[in-house]
Chains A and B, each alone.
Chain A
């Protein structure tokens, strides 16, 4: 993909947390791009830096976290160094966001209609009546039954799944080109998760909205994403089309990750086949090993992995940060 065609382009992004005992690097020089209308899945274990990457793009990192380097470009324009007020105009208008917990994402003291109307009026030049009409349309679109009466209800009168639908309506209400969805289904019941994912997928297609879908659930990625980025210890281990990454993973970490997903039908006959797992745990931020950060757990470790850090290289359709493909 050429950079000019990319909707969002992130280059060498670095997020740091200054602490009393030195600086922790939580996101270490990652680069990726999202094309218009594309769904990019970002997957990884807890603490891999996937949420921080999403928050860094819209600059909503919790202090003391800060962007320490790199570039974020939206439709070719740099947005990581914009003054706060200009960045605010981008949030919600050009980049929407959905957070993990719909129960706490909505302000309990305002009706859902008030919250949607306020967001619309912040970004679009419409009258309050038009904004309310739009809000009604959005609620209908995200599948809330009887929106005419529900619009004046407070968040606590909605169930978790319904609230996440409201949150999606809020993220969509100014027609952003990109939505950053940070674990949008993690806090929901499994039966609701599929509905929300289907909704998100449908709306993204209908509105031509690109989605950066952050999750630790490979199932969600497999079902939704066009491409997927696998993160490990603040770096991208592998990035590529979703089929390729799932069926032909290149990086040993991705291989281990795919092997640890239970499959129906696999191992029939052998009753007690154990699920494969990756030995060890992801390193803590203050103890990331030199060279490739996966080297202590890697079954195919070479001497070079202990010394030199691999860069992303092309391996077939995928790009992977591993010396095996040099």
Chain B
């Protein structure tokens, strides 16, 4: 178990180093930073001086090592446009993105599992047909279109919910939350649905197909033959056996939700990291882009690690060491 975690941590470090290399390359390939700082008509002496100051005359691997050493301490330098430490900018925006993503993921998970189980158990009911048809829409419509349609219906026509922004926020230490105010909660609804809809349909279809598969197994038939109630058979025995693949997909999708919040945040002008990143791209603000890239990679790596550990909690076949499996 400990060896497994250590091995996984080692792999995680390798992944982060590789992503760091890509992020670092951005600095070299998205224009010449010296030109950025001094302009086109600087003297060769000034250029040479600033090049030396920035350490750009050193070999590539030394520059990379220095980048990594500083990145580990959370130092990605100054934003070229806002002249503020990148880490501060990201930390300001992080709560907005995480609250949106987690809210969307929870919605997707709960609604997806409920609908998946329902459509598997009542295959021929009209409600299942409606849900399956609805899930097709969720899978095929692009996120931004869903967002715009939701804004049109609920903000413009009905006027029930705000069309942009995060509402009022409350600061809890460094964390600014929108979950404690009425306007913050109202502002969260439409973006969460927009962001979570695709994942919800994905989970719904996954749970449905896994559930149908499990319901055909011998141990479900045997559970019925023992006279267990439908409730115990469906939720105790069948649903639990569908959870391993669901956890995998949900875990991977949580990373995707955080990363693809960019589109939703743009549509709803949500003040999160995604919006910051889009603005950074527009202005070729390389430090922000590089830091964002590393942070998203970190999320993916951590989530994957958590997913691997969750397997152990759900499936006893992985938990027990080989020695006890005799007989």
- Report whether chain A binds chain B: yes
- In the bound complex, do residue B317 and residue A88 qualify as a contact, i.e. CB atoms below 8 Å apart? no
Q: Give chain B residues whose Cβ lies under 8 Å from the Cβ of A101.
A: 218
- Please tell me if A119 contacts chain B, counting CB pairs below 8 Å: yes
Closest chain B residue to A170 by CB distance?
B226
- In the bound complex, do residue B317 and residue A92 qualify as a contact, i.e. CB atoms below 8 Å apart? no
Query: Which of B227, B241, B316 lies in contact with A93, CB distance below 8 A?
Result: B227
CA distance A93 to B229 in the complex (A): 12
- In the bound complex, do residue A109 and residue B327 qualify as a contact, i.e. CB atoms below 8 Å apart? no
Query: Which of A91, A93, A109 lies in contact with B240, CB distance below 8 A?
Result: A109
> In the complex, how many residues of chain B place their beta carbon closer than 8 angstroms to a beta carbon of chain A?
26
- In the bound complex, do residue B218 and residue A88 qualify as a contact, i.e. CB atoms below 8 Å apart? no
- In the bound complex, do residue B317 and residue A119 qualify as a contact, i.e. CB atoms below 8 Å apart? no
- In the bound complex, do residue B227 and residue A107 qualify as a contact, i.e. CB atoms below 8 Å apart? no
Give a binary string over A215-241; 1 marks a CB under 8 Å from any B CB, 0 the rest: 000000000000000000000000000
Query: Which of A58, A88, A96, A108 lies in contact with B229, CB distance below 8 A?
Result: A88
Q: How far is the CB of B298 from chain A (nearest CB, A)?
A: 32
CA distance A158 to B237 in the complex (A): 19
CA distance A118 to B324 in the complex (A): 25
- In the bound complex, do residue A156 and residue B317 qualify as a contact, i.e. CB atoms below 8 Å apart? yes
Q: How far is the CB of A87 from chain B (nearest CB, A)?
A: 9
Q: How far is the CB of A54 from chain B (nearest CB, A)?
A: 10
- In the bound complex, do residue B241 and residue A107 qualify as a contact, i.e. CB atoms below 8 Å apart? yes
- Please tell me if A211 contacts chain B, counting CB pairs below 8 Å: no
Give a binary string over A161-192; 1 marks a CB under 8 Å from any B CB, 0 the rest: 01000010011001000000000000000000
| Given the contacts A91-B225, A119-B227, A154-B320, A105 and B218 also touching, CB distance less than 8 Å | yes
Q: Give chain A residues whose Cβ lies under 8 Å from the Cβ of B315.
A: 108-109
Question: Which residues of chain B (210-262) have a CB below 8 Å from chain A?
Answer: 217-219, 221-230, 232, 236-237, 240-241
- In the bound complex, do residue B219 and residue A158 qualify as a contact, i.e. CB atoms below 8 Å apart? no
CA distance A90 to B240 in the complex (A): 26
CA distance A162 to B325 in the complex (A): 13
Question: Which residues of chain A (75-105) have a CB below 8 Å from chain B?
Answer: 88-93, 96-97, 99, 101, 104-105
Q: Give chain A residues whose Cβ lies under 8 Å from the Cβ of B232.
A: 118, 122
> In the complex, how many residues of chain A place their beta carbon closer than 8 angstroms to a beta carbon of chain B?
35
Known: A108-B316, A170-B222. 14 other contacts (CB 8 A): A60-B225, A88-B227, A90-B227, A92-B227, A96-B225, A96-B226, A99-B218, A99-B225, A109-B240, A109-B314, A109-B315, A119-B228, A156-B316, A158-B327
Pairs across A and B, CB under 8 Å, 16 listed: A58-B225, A88-B228, A104-B218, A107-B237, A108-B219, A109-B240, A109-B315, A119-B227, A122-B232, A154-B316, A156-B316, A156-B320, A157-B320, A157-B324, A159-B327, A174-B227
5 nearest A-B pairs in the assembled complex, by CB-CB distance: A92-B227, A97-B225, A91-B227, A104-B218, A92-B226
B contact residues vs A (CB 8 Å cutoff): 217-219, 221-230, 232, 236-237, 240-241, 314-317, 320, 324-325, 327
A contact residues vs B (CB 8 Å cutoff): 58, 60, 88-93, 96-97, 99, 101, 104-111, 118-119, 122-123, 153-154, 156-159, 162, 167, 170-171, 174
